[in-house]
């Protein structure tokens, strides 16, 4: 018993690596990860807005970077993070008012998971169609 932590022999509660991955826990983890990604990604929004406030040359540089393949890829995943986190937030709001704890809980996860992907693709299709229509 030389250390109060390691050698005490007291039982510890099991942590993440003990459990088989389940949809509920994965969605909870992804909600946090998307929240963190959106947090960092606000930098992209601020850079975009400040460049627009700075003038035409700064704005066209940022538009070109965001419009590049890598830029579009980052923005696509940023859109997904936003939609997924928003739908997950709705799930939490439903729980907050005391609903969604029965068998329908699984449905809520699936709506969030597949709805998040579906809506993201839809947003980008709409974006590209409108851009194409504008020339």
Contacting residues toward other proteins, per CB under 8 A:
32, 35-36, 38-39, 42-43, 45-46, 49-50, 52-53, 55-56, 59-60, 63, 67, 79, 82, 86, 89-90, 92-93, 96, 123, 126-127, 130-131
Cβ(27)–Cβ(113) below 8 Å? yes
State the nearest-atom distance from the C-beta of 89 to other proteins, in Å: 5
If the CB atoms of residues 18 and 43 are measured against other proteins, the closer one turns out to be: 43
If the CB atoms of residues 22 and 90 are measured against other proteins, the closer one turns out to be: 90
Of 104, 125, 112, the closest CA to residue 29 belongs to 112
3-class secondary structure, 68 = coil
Cβ(80)–Cβ(116) below 8 Å? yes
């Amino acid at each position: 018993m030389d250390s109060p932590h390691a050698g005490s022999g007291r039982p510890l509660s099991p942590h993440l690596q003990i459990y088989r991955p389940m949809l509920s826990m994965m969605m909870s983890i992804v909600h946090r990860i998307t929240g963190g990604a959106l947090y960092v990604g606000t930098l992209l929004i601020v850079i975009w807005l400040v460049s627009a406030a700075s003038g035409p040359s700064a704005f066209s540089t940022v538009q070109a970077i965001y419009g590049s393949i890598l830029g579009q890829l980052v923005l696509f995943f940023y859109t997904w993070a936003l939609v997924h986190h928003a739908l997950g937030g709705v799930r939490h709001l439903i729980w907050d008012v005391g609903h969604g704890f029965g068998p329908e809980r699984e449905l809520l996860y699936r709506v969030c998971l597949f709805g998040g992907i579906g809506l993201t693709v839809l947003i980008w299709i709409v974006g590209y169609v409108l851009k194409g229509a504008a020339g």
